[in-house]
Chain A
Amino acid sequence: MDQIFQKQQKLKEALLSLNRLQAESISKRLTKERDSLSLVEEIFIPVLEDIGQGWEEGKYGLSQVYWSARFCEEWIAQNLLDESGTVTDNPRMAIAVLEDFHSLGKTIVCSIIRSAGFTIEDFGIGISASALVEKTMEENIEILLISTLMLPSALSISEVYEQFQQKNYPVKLVVGGAPFRIDPDLVKEVRADYIVKSAADVIKVIRSIIQIKHSGT
């Protein structure tokens, strides 16, 4: 356990200082020591979660969160790709930026989800509530992730919710973005199933949705 912690800390330091060479050499060493699954589950994801948590607490900057997530996604894609379709029970997931045009939150969330071995469809940015609902139903999406940076777009999530209700389409709505961090009560207004404050926490949420689905509740 301690040993794992030390390894996590080393990688975390390299990522926080945006030191690509060091991050690569640590990751390479770790690949030799362990299989892909445990590398992702025990090192990459906990480190990303830790950095995300630190950002939420004001310890790190968004640039570090972004850089770390991108590094892990790229490194896994380049080095563990063959084995990284590791998730056997991948729910049908998609992500979009509703109405507004700020894509960085979505980019970070995608990187983290892909780092964890899931696949996710990208429905793009600036999409309207009705187009998003239509696309989600067309693609049989089970978990829809929505990112917004502007308040009016965040408020429009309730429109998405209502349209799904009207159409009786069962989908889990997972939402995030700056307005939700600034006003925690916003989630009640938009009626999403989950609000995620820091991108890396999305993995826990996805896993818990899968678990609930399996337990049939």
Chain B
Amino acid sequence: MSHPELTSMQRVLTTLGYEEPDRVPWFLFVTMHGAKELGLSIEDYFKNGKNVAEGQIRMQQKYEHDCYYNIFYLAAEMESIGGSVIYRDDGPPNAGRPMINDLSDIEALTFPDPSESENLSEVLEATRIMKEEAGDSIPIIGVVLSPFSSPIIQMGLDAYINLIENNRKAFDLLMSKNEAFCAAWANAQLNAGATAIGYFDPFSSNTMIPPDLYRETGLKVAKRTIANINGPTATHFASGRCEPIIDDIASTGTALIGVTTHEDMSKLKKICNKRMSVLGNLNGIEMRHWTPEQAEENVKLAIASAAKGGGFILSDNHGEIPWQVSEDVLLSISKAVKKWGRYPLEWIDNE
């Protein structure tokens, strides 16, 4: 039986409804690579929403994946409140010095209206241009850093762990401010045309904190925040582990989870049990040195482990392809998805 060719949007919606579309949908989370397409430095590329939209459109035409991705870099949110960003020419920009250095900084913390912020408005502009191009045929994935993970760059990871241990009142205040901003920022992206929001929350992963602490903290934050986001969300742990907390994550109302290479994706999918779809899990860092054969083999492995029955989108395990991954590798992945991703995936039973 062969399926008629679907648009990317139909393909994605079908899989999220736990049905098999024409082929396995795949999200290629290329961010910086757009600069290569436009012949710009990474810094110049991210100065302008038009560049990013153009980069996304060209890359989607080249690799034929099933989404546009509007994120510039995660530190952009801190930049919008006056934080510095450190660029390099061969990798993603990083946040500069923490802005919260004592409790009074938490009290004083204020966020801008995203549409009036100089840099976030560029992300919104990029989203609008992508939407004009995509119409309803290609989903646009927006991104927020979760309120629970944001303080890592706002105040530094060690100071943040100490705050959670020693001062829950200040922690609660910090969360309430970040939650309000996060929902507003997500909704601004949805209004600009984003189809869904990637809720990046690696601090909630078991790589970072134990499940009990997550249930007391990050889970509650996610429930409150996701409830205020007016569109579907995908929770991503940026390659942190999540198996022990899958039931909890499902209770936040999120539709999809991004999972790591360090966990067994077929097992995670079983635990999700049609409450959430699974997104993953090609190893982005290893990808740099894959041969075309290895790319094909890894695509097959991922598809074989989780694609049957839908509820699955192929992607990398982090939500961002490193700058050092070559166009050739990405083209090999693209080719392999087309070759091996066609439902009903009979080859899986034969191999």
Q: Does A66 contact B (CB under 8 A)?
A: yes
**Residue numbers in B under 8 Å from A107 (CB-CB):** 158
In the complex, the answer to whether A63 meets B286 with C-beta atoms within 8 Å is: no
Check if B348 is an interface residue, CB within 8 A of chain A. no
Candidates B92, B158, B262, B323; contact of A58 at CB < 8 Å: B262
CB atoms of A179 and B285 under 8 A apart:
yes
Which residues from chain B contact A155 at a C-beta distance below 8 Å? 324
Q: Does B206 contact A (CB under 8 A)?
A: yes
Which residues on the A side are within 8 Å of B288 (C-beta)?
Answer: 183
Closest partner residue, chain A, to B86 (CB atom): A101
Contact A63 B207 (CB under 8 A): no
Contacts of A62 in B (CB 8 A): 207-209
For A18, the chain B residues whose CB sits under 8 A away are 165
Q: Can you name the residue of chain A whose Cβ is closest to the Cβ of B243?
A: A58
Residues A182 and B157 in contact, CB atoms below 8 Å apart: no
Q: Is the CB of B283 within 8 A of A183?
A: yes
B158→A103 contact, CB < 8 A: yes
Q: How far is the CA of A189 from the CA of B161 in the complex (A)?
A: 33
Whether the Cβ atoms of A101 and B206 lie closer than 8 Å is: no
Chain A residue numbers with a CB within 8 Å of B157 are 102, 104
> Contacts of A66 on B, CB cut-off 8 Å?
158, 161
Do B207 and A100 touch across chains, with their CB atoms under 8 A apart?
no
Given contacts A67-B161, A186-B285, contact A61 B94 (CB under 8 A): no
Q: Mark B215-229, 1 if CB is under 8 A from A, else 0.
A: 000000000000000
Contact of B213 among A61, A100, A153, A185 (CB under 8 A): A61
CB distance from B231 to the nearest CB of A (A): 30
For the complex formed, measure the closest distance between the CB of A215 and the CB atoms of chain B, giving whole angstroms: 35
Q: Is A170 an interface residue, CB under 8 A from the partner?
A: no
Interface string of B154-179 (1 = CB under 8 A from A): 00111001001100000000000000
Report B-chain residues with C-beta under 8 Å of the C-beta of A186. 285
Asked whether any CB of chain A lies closer than 8 Å to the CB of B253, the reply is no
- A60 near B210 with CB under 8 A, answer yes
Once the chains are docked, how many angstroms separate the CA of A183 from the CA of B208?
Answer: 19
B270 CB to nearest A CB, Å: 18
Provide the residues of chain A in CB contact with B261, threshold 8 Å.
182
Q: Which residues of B208-263 have CB atoms within 8 Å of chain A's CB atoms?
A: 208-210, 213, 239, 241, 243, 261-263
Do the beta carbons of A183 and B165 come within 8 Å of each other? no
From residue 163 to 217 of chain A, which have CB atoms closer than 8 A to chain B?
179, 182-183, 185-186, 189
A182 contacts B283, C-beta separation under 8 Å = yes
Q: Is the CB of B209 within 8 A of A152?
A: no
Chain A residues within 8 Å of B280, by CB: none
What is the bound-complex CA distance between A103 and B97, given in angstroms?
Answer: 12
Q: Which of B90, B164, B239, B283 contacts A152 (CB 8 A)?
A: B90
| 5 sample A-B contacts, Cβ–Cβ < 8 Å, listed by A number | A62-B207, A64-B209, A67-B165, A152-B91, A179-B285
- A-side residues, CB < 8 A to B, are 16, 18, 58, 60-64, 66-67, 99-104, 107, 150-153, 155, 179, 182-183, 185-186, 189
Q: Which 3 A-B pairs have the closest CB atoms?
A: A152-B91, A183-B285, A61-B209
